[in-house]
Amino acid sequence: MSSATGRHCRQDTLSDAPCPDWDPRDPQVQSDQILAYDHMRETCPVAYSDYLGWSLFRHADILRVLNDHDTFSNVVSRHISVPNGMDPPEHTGYRRMIEPYFTKERVDSVEPACRDIARDLVASLKENPSCDLMTEFAEPYAVRIQCAFLGWPQSLHEPLRQWVRKNREATLARDTEAMASIALEFDGHIRSQLDWREEAGAAAPDDITTSLVRQEVYGKRLEHGQIVSILRNWTVGELGTIAACVGIIVRFLAEHQEVQSLLRRDRARLPQAIDEILRLDGPLIANRRRAARSVTIGECGISEGERMTVTGLRQTATRR
């Protein structure tokens, strides 16, 4: 990792591109991203890398980006992404349409299924003296609860898990050919869920996927591509995030025996503890934007169209 105070914003004299200040894929960065971000905030708060474009580490810069969608757009990809890849005013209607899917009543209604799934998985772990928590608990837990939430069958558990793994590998390797064929494969899984619901009409099950098939926004039915995008976010986007949350919580409790004992004695504190553990060590610590016009942040000139990343805001001192 570069400790490059004042080094950022240099141009490569041959290509005119900014010189990289750091490498987000450096093993040292990957081993503790929050620590690396804290270091960058001190040494190079507006940093360029080939992998992420411009990364911002300062609170004030990040707030500026998040609050000004005219200058810093959410439209970061040429692929449709509903609603997170949209800006207002388009975003507003899609967000309003999605919100009822996450009311307390709706989320509460899947809680018993989530508890059953967790109990089942814990019971199956008891047969093993040791196990890999992520592959044997967190990932299957995430895929099963999301399928329960969406009304998808058990037969999709394993294909979706494999799909997420392949997608992650292709994305990290930036293998665009593999990513395109993996996207088509996902489309097939979703299509199979949409087609029979459309054919069943009024006899289709009363679940979230059926609601999406009938959903309107701005007075028009959602298009197939929009439904696929929403479902892709709620599976691909979230399976990794949910699994990561499980891993973070279990690791924290393993490393903090006193907190674990306290929570075993007083389970009423669990919701608060979970929120706090995930606040200290969140599963998603970076978010993408794109400069919609040329702009200066700190001393760095960022050109229209360049990729940007806003990063986690905390100092490690509050974390451990």
List interacting residues with ligand HEM (CB under 6 A): 83-84, 95, 98, 233-234, 238, 241-242, 245, 282-284, 287
CB-nearer residue toward ligand HEM: 32 or 275: 275
Residue nearest to ligand HEM (CB): 84
Cβ at position 2, least distance to ligand HEM in Å: 26
Cβ at position 229, least distance to ligand HEM in Å: 10
Token readout for 53 is 């474009």
CA-based radius of gyration for the chain: 22
Token readout for 106 is 């709706």
11 DSSP 8-state letter: B
SS3 category, 216: strand
CB-nearer residue toward ligand HEM: 171 or 287: 287
Expressed in angstroms, the distance from the first to the final Cα of the chain is: 22
18 DSSP 8-state letter: B
CB-nearer residue toward ligand HEM: 92 or 296: 92
Cβ at position 43, least distance to ligand HEM in Å: 25
Cβ at position 286, least distance to ligand HEM in Å: 9
Upstream peptide bond of 100 is cis (omega within 30 degrees of 0): no
Instruction: Look up tokens 């004030």; give the residue.
Output: 60
Q: Which residue, 229, 237, 95, is CA-closest to 160?
A: 237
Cβ at position 81, least distance to ligand HEM in Å: 9
CB-nearer residue toward ligand HEM: 1 or 82: 82
CB-nearer residue toward ligand HEM: 83 or 140: 83
